[in-house]
A and B are shown apart, each in its own frame.
Chain A
Protein backbone atom coordinates (compact mmCIF):
# COMPACT_ATOMS: atom_id res chain seq x y z
CA UNK A 1 0.00 0.00 0.00
CA UNK A 2 1.39 3.36 -1.07
CA UNK A 3 2.18 5.82 1.73
CA UNK A 4 3.19 9.43 1.19
CA UNK A 5 4.97 11.45 3.86
CA UNK A 6 5.68 15.15 3.87
CA UNK A 7 8.28 16.85 6.00
CA UNK A 8 8.13 19.28 7.68
CA UNK A 9 4.49 19.47 8.72
CA UNK A 10 4.80 23.22 9.17
CA UNK A 11 7.37 25.79 8.15
CA UNK A 12 7.69 29.49 8.86
CA UNK A 13 10.22 31.62 6.98
CA UNK A 14 10.90 35.32 6.44
CA UNK A 15 10.05 36.80 3.09
CA UNK A 16 12.72 36.40 0.43
CA UNK A 17 14.12 33.10 1.63
CA UNK A 18 14.52 30.10 -0.64
CA UNK A 19 12.97 26.96 0.81
CA UNK A 20 12.57 23.25 0.16
CA UNK A 21 9.59 21.06 0.92
CA UNK A 22 10.07 17.30 1.03
CA UNK A 23 7.88 14.42 -0.02
CA UNK A 24 8.64 10.71 0.19
CA UNK A 25 6.65 7.71 -1.01
CA UNK A 26 7.03 4.03 -0.24
CA UNK A 27 6.20 2.41 -3.61
CA UNK A 28 8.33 3.59 -6.51
CA UNK A 29 5.92 2.15 -9.11
CA UNK A 30 4.24 5.45 -9.90
CA UNK A 31 2.88 7.09 -13.04
CA UNK A 32 3.43 10.62 -11.86
CA UNK A 33 3.81 12.88 -8.87
CA UNK A 34 1.99 16.15 -8.41
CA UNK A 35 2.38 19.13 -6.12
CA UNK A 36 -0.73 21.07 -5.12
CA UNK A 37 -1.37 24.23 -3.20
CA UNK A 38 -4.34 24.51 -0.85
CA UNK A 39 -5.43 27.80 0.65
CA UNK A 40 -7.55 27.78 3.85
CA UNK A 41 -11.13 26.80 3.11
CA UNK A 42 -10.40 26.45 -0.58
CA UNK A 43 -9.83 23.70 -3.11
CA UNK A 44 -6.59 22.42 -4.58
CA UNK A 45 -4.54 24.20 -7.21
CA UNK A 46 -2.17 22.06 -9.24
CA UNK A 47 1.34 23.53 -9.25
CA UNK A 48 3.56 21.00 -10.98
CA UNK A 49 3.10 17.52 -12.45
CA UNK A 50 6.15 15.30 -12.95
CA UNK A 51 5.79 12.17 -15.04
CA UNK A 52 7.67 9.09 -13.83
CA UNK A 53 10.13 9.41 -16.71
CA UNK A 54 11.01 13.00 -15.80
CA UNK A 55 13.48 14.31 -13.25
CA UNK A 56 12.12 17.79 -12.67
CA UNK A 57 9.60 20.43 -13.67
CA UNK A 58 9.80 24.19 -13.34
CA UNK A 59 7.17 26.90 -13.25
CA UNK A 60 8.23 30.42 -12.39
CA UNK A 61 9.77 30.42 -8.91
CA UNK A 62 8.84 26.78 -8.35
CA UNK A 63 10.96 23.77 -9.17
CA UNK A 64 10.00 20.21 -8.37
CA UNK A 65 12.34 17.25 -8.62
CA UNK A 66 11.64 13.54 -8.64
CA UNK A 67 13.92 10.66 -7.72
CA UNK A 68 11.66 7.69 -8.32
CA UNK A 69 14.17 5.03 -7.31
CA UNK A 70 14.63 6.51 -3.85
CA UNK A 71 10.97 7.51 -3.50
CA UNK A 72 11.59 11.21 -3.01
CA UNK A 73 10.47 14.52 -4.41
CA UNK A 74 11.28 18.06 -3.42
CA UNK A 75 9.51 21.33 -4.11
CA UNK A 76 11.86 24.29 -4.21
CA UNK A 77 10.40 27.77 -3.84
CA UNK A 78 12.72 30.64 -4.68
CA UNK A 79 12.47 34.11 -3.18
CA UNK A 80 9.41 33.31 -1.10
CA UNK A 81 6.61 35.87 -0.75
CA UNK A 82 3.79 36.25 1.79
CA UNK A 83 1.39 35.22 -0.96
CA UNK A 84 3.07 31.81 -1.01
CA UNK A 85 1.60 31.09 2.42
CA UNK A 86 -0.59 28.00 2.04
CA UNK A 87 -0.56 24.26 2.57
CA UNK A 88 1.43 22.34 -0.03
CA UNK A 89 0.32 18.81 -0.81
CA UNK A 90 2.25 16.11 -2.61
CA UNK A 91 0.32 13.32 -4.37
CA UNK A 92 1.35 10.25 -6.38
CA UNK A 93 -0.59 8.29 -8.96
CA UNK A 94 0.22 4.59 -8.95
CA UNK A 95 1.11 2.53 -12.00
CA UNK A 96 -1.48 0.11 -13.30
CA UNK A 97 -5.15 0.69 -13.78
CA UNK A 98 -5.65 2.61 -10.54
CA UNK A 99 -6.29 6.25 -11.21
CA UNK A 100 -6.66 7.65 -7.73
CA UNK A 101 -4.09 9.89 -6.11
CA UNK A 102 -2.44 9.13 -2.79
CA UNK A 103 -1.78 12.31 -0.83
CA UNK A 104 0.63 13.31 1.88
CA UNK A 105 -0.63 15.25 4.88
CA UNK A 106 0.88 18.47 3.59
CA UNK A 107 3.32 21.14 4.69
CA UNK A 108 1.77 24.31 6.05
CA UNK A 109 3.96 27.19 4.89
CA UNK A 110 3.90 30.68 6.40
CA UNK A 111 5.99 33.39 4.79
CA UNK A 112 6.39 36.34 7.12
CA UNK A 113 6.55 39.86 5.65
Chain B
Protein backbone atom coordinates (compact mmCIF):
# COMPACT_ATOMS: atom_id res chain seq x y z
CA UNK B 1 0.00 0.00 0.00
CA UNK B 2 2.60 2.51 -1.11
CA UNK B 3 1.89 6.20 -0.71
CA UNK B 4 3.14 8.95 -2.97
CA UNK B 5 6.74 8.34 -3.94
CA UNK B 6 9.16 11.00 -5.04
CA UNK B 7 12.69 10.67 -6.31
CA UNK B 8 15.30 11.70 -5.91
CA UNK B 9 14.91 12.84 -2.32
CA UNK B 10 17.83 15.20 -2.66
CA UNK B 11 19.19 16.72 -5.85
CA UNK B 12 22.19 19.00 -6.30
CA UNK B 13 22.62 20.91 -9.52
CA UNK B 14 24.92 23.64 -10.73
CA UNK B 15 23.50 26.79 -12.24
CA UNK B 16 22.46 26.20 -15.84
CA UNK B 17 21.86 22.46 -15.49
CA UNK B 18 18.54 20.70 -15.76
CA UNK B 19 16.63 19.18 -12.85
CA UNK B 20 14.11 16.36 -13.26
CA UNK B 21 11.87 15.51 -10.35
CA UNK B 22 9.72 12.39 -10.40
CA UNK B 23 6.48 11.60 -8.63
CA UNK B 24 4.59 8.31 -8.53
CA UNK B 25 1.08 8.87 -7.15
CA UNK B 26 -0.83 6.56 -4.88
CA UNK B 27 -1.95 3.55 -6.91
CA UNK B 28 -5.27 4.33 -8.56
CA UNK B 29 -4.97 8.10 -8.18
CA UNK B 30 -5.29 10.00 -11.42
CA UNK B 31 -4.71 13.54 -10.14
CA UNK B 32 -1.26 14.94 -9.36
CA UNK B 33 -0.30 18.30 -7.89
CA UNK B 34 3.11 19.90 -7.55
CA UNK B 35 3.92 22.40 -4.81
CA UNK B 36 7.08 24.31 -4.02
CA UNK B 37 8.25 25.26 -0.55
CA UNK B 38 10.88 27.96 -0.26
CA UNK B 39 12.90 28.15 2.97
CA UNK B 40 10.81 29.36 5.94
CA UNK B 41 7.66 29.58 3.81
CA UNK B 42 4.51 27.58 3.27
CA UNK B 43 3.82 25.48 0.21
CA UNK B 44 2.87 27.26 -3.00
CA UNK B 45 0.82 25.55 -5.69
CA UNK B 46 2.55 25.12 -9.03
CA UNK B 47 0.60 22.80 -11.33
CA UNK B 48 -2.27 20.32 -11.37
CA UNK B 49 -2.32 17.43 -13.83
CA UNK B 50 -4.50 14.53 -14.76
CA UNK B 51 -3.27 11.68 -16.91
CA UNK B 52 -1.81 13.21 -20.10
CA UNK B 53 -3.36 16.62 -19.38
CA UNK B 54 -2.32 19.80 -17.63
CA UNK B 55 -5.43 21.14 -15.91
CA UNK B 56 -4.06 24.19 -14.12
CA UNK B 57 -0.54 25.58 -14.36
CA UNK B 58 -1.31 29.00 -12.95
CA UNK B 59 1.31 28.68 -10.21
CA UNK B 60 4.16 27.59 -12.42
CA UNK B 61 6.74 30.06 -13.76
CA UNK B 62 6.23 30.61 -17.48
CA UNK B 63 9.85 29.98 -18.38
CA UNK B 64 12.14 27.05 -17.66
CA UNK B 65 9.50 24.99 -15.83
CA UNK B 66 7.39 22.23 -17.34
CA UNK B 67 5.40 19.30 -16.04
CA UNK B 68 3.89 16.16 -17.50
CA UNK B 69 1.91 13.16 -16.34
CA UNK B 70 2.05 10.55 -19.09
CA UNK B 71 -0.35 7.69 -19.54
CA UNK B 72 2.32 5.33 -18.24
CA UNK B 73 4.94 6.19 -15.67
CA UNK B 74 5.46 8.90 -13.09
CA UNK B 75 4.73 12.59 -13.27
CA UNK B 76 7.81 14.66 -14.09
CA UNK B 77 8.56 18.23 -13.07
CA UNK B 78 11.37 19.57 -15.20
CA UNK B 79 13.38 22.70 -14.51
CA UNK B 80 15.71 23.83 -17.24
CA UNK B 81 18.75 26.08 -16.71
CA UNK B 82 18.34 26.11 -12.95
CA UNK B 83 19.20 29.21 -10.93
CA UNK B 84 19.94 29.57 -7.22
CA UNK B 85 16.41 30.84 -6.60
CA UNK B 86 15.08 27.43 -7.65
CA UNK B 87 16.56 25.90 -4.49
CA UNK B 88 13.55 24.65 -2.56
CA UNK B 89 11.64 21.57 -1.52
CA UNK B 90 9.28 20.33 -4.22
CA UNK B 91 6.32 18.30 -3.05
CA UNK B 92 4.02 16.15 -5.09
CA UNK B 93 0.52 15.19 -3.97
CA UNK B 94 -2.13 12.94 -5.47
CA UNK B 95 -5.84 12.41 -5.11
CA UNK B 96 -8.39 10.00 -6.54
CA UNK B 97 -10.91 10.94 -9.19
CA UNK B 98 -13.92 10.66 -6.96
CA UNK B 99 -15.03 13.77 -5.15
CA UNK B 100 -13.41 17.14 -5.02
CA UNK B 101 -13.48 17.19 -1.23
CA UNK B 102 -11.07 14.29 -1.09
CA UNK B 103 -7.82 14.99 0.71
CA UNK B 104 -4.52 15.14 -1.11
CA UNK B 105 -1.79 12.69 -0.14
CA UNK B 106 1.68 14.16 -0.07
CA UNK B 107 5.01 12.63 -0.91
CA UNK B 108 8.21 13.18 1.10
CA UNK B 109 9.45 15.85 -1.27
CA UNK B 110 12.58 16.45 -3.33
CA UNK B 111 15.05 18.92 -1.90
CA UNK B 112 16.75 20.75 -4.75
CA UNK B 113 19.94 22.64 -4.08
CA UNK B 114 21.39 24.79 -6.83
CA UNK B 115 25.04 25.68 -6.40
Tell yes or no: A41 within 8 A of B by CB. yes
Q: Which of B44, B95, B107, B108 is A99 in contact with, Cβ under 8 Å?
A: B95
Question: What is the CB-to-nearest-CB distance from A16 to chain B, in angstroms, rounded to a whole number?
Answer: 29
* Contact pattern, B 17-60, Cβ under 8 Å of A = 1, otherwise 0: 00000000000000101010000111111001000000110010
The answer to whether A105 touches B41, judged by C-beta atoms less than 8 angstroms apart, is yes
**A-facing residues in B84-112 (Cβ within 8 Å):** 91, 93, 95, 100-101, 103-109, 111
Kindly state the interface size class of chain B when it binds its partner: 20 to 34
Q: How far is the CA of A89 from the CA of B105 in the complex (A)?
A: 14
Question: What is the CB-to-nearest-CB distance from A88 to chain B, in angstroms, rounded to a whole number?
Answer: 11
**B-facing residues in A1-21 (Cβ within 8 Å):** 4, 6
Which residues does chain A contribute within 8 Å of B100, judged by CB atoms? 31, 93, 97, 99
The answer to whether A89 touches B48, judged by C-beta atoms less than 8 angstroms apart, is no
In the complex formed, the residue of B with least CB distance to A49 is B103
Question: 18 new A-B pairs (CB below 8 Å) besides A31-B100, A36-B106, A93-B101?
Answer: A32-B101, A43-B106, A43-B108, A45-B106, A46-B103, A46-B105, A89-B42, A99-B31, A99-B33, A99-B55, A99-B100, A100-B33, A101-B35, A101-B45, A102-B45, A103-B35, A103-B42, A104-B42
Question: What is the CB-to-nearest-CB distance from B98 to chain A, in angstroms, rounded to a whole number?
Answer: 12
Q: How far is the CA of A97 from the CA of B50 in the complex (A)?
A: 13
Tell yes or no: A42 within 8 A of B by CB. yes
B residues lining the A interface (CB < 8 Å) = 31, 33, 35, 40-45, 48, 55-56, 59, 91, 93, 95, 100-101, 103-109, 111
**B-facing residues in A54-113 (Cβ within 8 Å):** 89, 91, 93, 97-106
Which residues does chain B contribute within 8 Å of A32, judged by CB atoms? 101
Question: What is the CB-to-nearest-CB distance from B92 to chain A, in angstroms, rounded to a whole number?
Answer: 9
Q: How far is the CA of A31 from the CA of B59 in the complex (A)?
A: 20
Q: How far is the CA of A103 from the CA of B40 in the complex (A)?
A: 13
Which residues does chain A contribute within 8 Å of B108, judged by CB atoms? 42-43
